[in-house]
Amino acid sequence: MTQYLLTVHGSEEENAAVPESEWPELFAAVEAFNQKLQADGVWVFAGGLEGAETATVVDGQGDEPVFTDGPYLETKEHIGGFWILDVPDLDAALAYAASGSKACRGKVEVRPFQAEPPTDA
Amino acid sequence: MTDPDTGTAVERIFREEYGRLIASLVRRFGDIDVAEEAAGEALLVALEKWPETGVPPNPGGWLTTTAVRRAIDRLRREKVREGKHEAAAMIHDDSPHEPTGVIADDRLRLVFTCCHPALAPETRIALTLRLLGGLTVAEIAAAFLVQETTMAQRITRAKSKIKGANIPYRVPGPEDLPARVGAVLAVLLLIFNEGYLSAADGEPVRTELTGEAIRLARTLHELMPEDLEATGLLALLLLTESRRAARVREGVLVPLDEQDRGGWDRTLIAEGHGLVRQCLAANRPGRYQILAAVNAVHTDAPTAAATDWSQVVALYDQLARIDSSPIVALNRAVAVAELDGPEVALAIVERLPLEGYHAWHVTRAELLRRLGRSAESREAYDAALGVCDNTAERAYLTRRRGELVS
């Protein structure tokens, strides 16, 4: 089994393109998708994020941590939410990502987590 | 001392067996790098031993056994050095024992991995040629006109994506199979086309690529005999290849209607026609089957004038219903010109948004020429030459342009 991070990417404009009247429908679709993930036993974690303007970048490498207001990447597109799934392989992850993309009406990036380092157990 | 003849024989056998060898090692060890290293070591052993002992009766089996032993030895050594249990798990072959029918062929799993939709198209082509075709990185780089280091990087990156993202070695399930087979067939056709109408400066036809595409299409057809599109693609490649010898004369492309049909390969044509008949009998047409049928009509005609153009137009009509691309419409227009005249065809061609495509300019040039519109025809030949890379086709277009009087 491999764990995958599925991130939803989009810009403010893209998010605004969904009229408020359709939000309940969108939330219901995402909720139904989340329930399917749990029923299939592949769910690890998921969540939607507040807007990128609420982000703070922290650099703790120096003597004193430096805090910077705003997101790390200066782009229009930001991560709006994510899922972490535990599935047999990339084909399974891509199939879930396609359903998730349809439900949340956004593009989804699929990225594997590094395999856990072997232990000497 | 290695006898040069035996050395060449060993390399030829190795190349023929490479896809099968790598695929079986990948299934066993679950890792492409381990498989390639073990295969390389087995080749070295064969080059050393076979000149003395002679080529064994089952060279493929011999190479596989030798490679597996080498891989296990290597993994044991690494296991001892690293003190990790990981390697032990890889030595244990826990893949389920499936029936040994063709569908379980390891090469079939591997071709779906190489042509996985999560890999970029040019990467799929390179991986397929490397792992299933057994071409060296240098050969693939030369075929696609890129630096060897660039191609090596591309292949290395692809292999690490397969490993890191856990792209499976598996024949896809029935619901995904048609789309995934389509991706494999598209890769094989791209390999063939790159060979058949090469953009390279040197040879107009790169037979190492056309030959490899046919070999792989044949393998795929053997592995999936019930897949009609795989049958159609093999037929398409064979019928196209059958005209190769007549297609270029003294470095100049010879168009279909001027080709010496006595120079066409009758064996390939017979095989291609047999496959097309199988497709027609099944009556579940698809893109490659229809294109094969078009080529069957051409290769069936004893002379260019005897071509059944109404059949060709009907086939392109059928193709246009499943593929609305302007390139299909362009090919249909070429047949329409033979059936309904150049004026009707030109009206169709003018509407197509294909200004960047050399075949569009060539078709326009030929139609304008037949309509006696020489000045416009000349301009169209100029435009075609501006976007055409193939040396033989350039020579042909230059000749045609030169034949215009005004």
Tens digits of residue pLDDT in B242-284: 999 999 998 899 999 999 999 999 999 999 999 999 999 999 9
Query: Whole domain around residue B85: which residue ranges?
Result: 4-92
Whether B201 has a pLDDT exceeding 90, the answer reads no
Torsion region of A7: left, alpha or beta (phi above 0 gives left; psi -120 to 50 gives alpha): beta
B-interface mutation test, from A90, A99, A116, A119, most B Cβ less than 10 A away: A90
pLDDT of residue B387: 87
Tell me what the mean pLDDT of segment A38-52 comes to: 95
How does DSSP assign B323-384, residue by residue?
A: ---HHHHHHHHHHHHHHH-HHHHHHHHHTS--TT-HHHHHHHHHHHHHTT-HHHHHHHHHHH
Tell me, what CATH number does A98's domain have?
3.30.70.1060
List the one residue out of B123, B23, B25, B133 whose CA is nearest residue B72.
B25
Do residues B213 and B189 make contact, with C-beta atoms less than 8 angstroms apart?
Answer: yes
A117 occurs within a structural domain: no
Q: Which H or E run includes A66?
A: strand A66-69
B64 occurs within a structural domain: yes
Interface check B118 vs A, CB under 8 A: yes
A contacts of B167 (beta carbons < 8 Å):
89-91
List the one residue out of B94, B46, B50, B54 whose CA is nearest residue B70.
B46
Q: What's the mean pLDDT when you consider all of chain A?
A: 92
Q: Which two tokens stand for residue B8?
A: 């060449």
B84 CA to chain A: closest CA distance, Å?
7
Quote the percentage of chain A above a pLDDT of 70.
96
pLDDT of residue B4: 59
Q: Taking CA B241 as the corner, what is the angle to CA B240 and CA B244, rounded to the nearest 5 degrees? A: 105
- Residue partners of B61: CB distance under 8 A and separation at least 6: none
Tally of structural domains, chain B: 1
pLDDT of residue B11: 81
B contacts of A91 (beta carbons < 8 Å):
167-168, 170, 172, 176
**Residue appearing with tokens 């650099």:** A59
Tally of structural domains, chain A: 1
B305 occurs within a structural domain: no
Q: Which two tokens stand for residue B124?
A: 């799929």
Query: How far is the C-alpha of B67 from the C-alpha of B121, rounded, in Å?
Result: 30
Instruction: Pick the residue from chain B with its C-alpha nearest to A5.
Output: B165
* Beta-carbon separation of B167 and A94 below 8 A: no
Give the predicted TM-score (pTM) of the model: 0.81
B370 occurs within a structural domain: no
Quote the percentage of chain B above a pLDDT of 70.
91
Interface check B147 vs A, CB under 8 A: no
Q: Which two tokens stand for residue B106?
A: 């390891």
Q: How far is CA B53 from the centre of its chain?
A: 36
More confident residue, B369 or B391: B369
For residue A62, the 8-state DSSP code is S
User: ipTM of this model?
Assistant: 0.83
pLDDT of residue B96: 44
A119 occurs within a structural domain: no
A81 occurs within a structural domain: yes
B302 occurs within a structural domain: no
Between residues 65 and 94 of chain B, which touch chain A (CB distance below 8 Å)?
Answer: 83-86
- Residue partners of A73: CB distance under 8 A and separation at least 6: none
Query: Whole domain around residue A45: which residue ranges?
Result: 2-112
A54 CA to chain B: closest CA distance, Å?
31
Whether B406 has a pLDDT exceeding 80, the answer reads no
For residue A20, the 8-state DSSP code is G
Tell me what the mean pLDDT of segment A1-30 comes to: 91
A67 occurs within a structural domain: yes
pLDDT of residue B103: 44
Query: How far is the C-alpha of B133 from the C-alpha of B217, rounded, in Å?
Result: 11
Positive or negative, the CA dihedral B306, B307, B308, B313 is: negative
pLDDT per position as a tens digit, B4-54: 577 788 888 888 888 889 999 999 998 999 999 999 999 999 999 998 998
Of A91, A112, A114, the CB nearest to B168: A91
Do residues B24 and B42 make contact, with C-beta atoms less than 8 angstroms apart?
Answer: no
- Residue partners of B178: CB distance under 8 A and separation at least 6: B229
Pairs of CB atoms within 8 A across A/B: 33
Q: Is B69 exposed, middle or buried (0-12, 13-18, 19+ CB in 10 A)?
A: middle
B372 occurs within a structural domain: no
A54 occurs within a structural domain: yes
A91 occurs within a structural domain: yes
Query: How far is the C-alpha of B24 from the C-alpha of B29, rounded, in Å?
Result: 9
Query: How far is the C-alpha of B341 from the C-alpha of B367, rounded, in Å?
Result: 9
Please give the single-letter amino acid code of residue B311: Q
pLDDT per position as a tens digit, A65-119: 999 999 999 888 899 999 999 999 999 999 999 999 999 999 999 999 998 766 5
* Beta-carbon separation of A2 and B166 below 8 A: yes
pLDDT of residue B304: 94
B144 occurs within a structural domain: no
* Beta-carbon separation of A118 and B84 below 8 A: yes
B362 occurs within a structural domain: no
Query: What is the Cα gyration radius of chain A?
Result: 17
A118 occurs within a structural domain: no
A33 occurs within a structural domain: yes
B46 occurs within a structural domain: yes
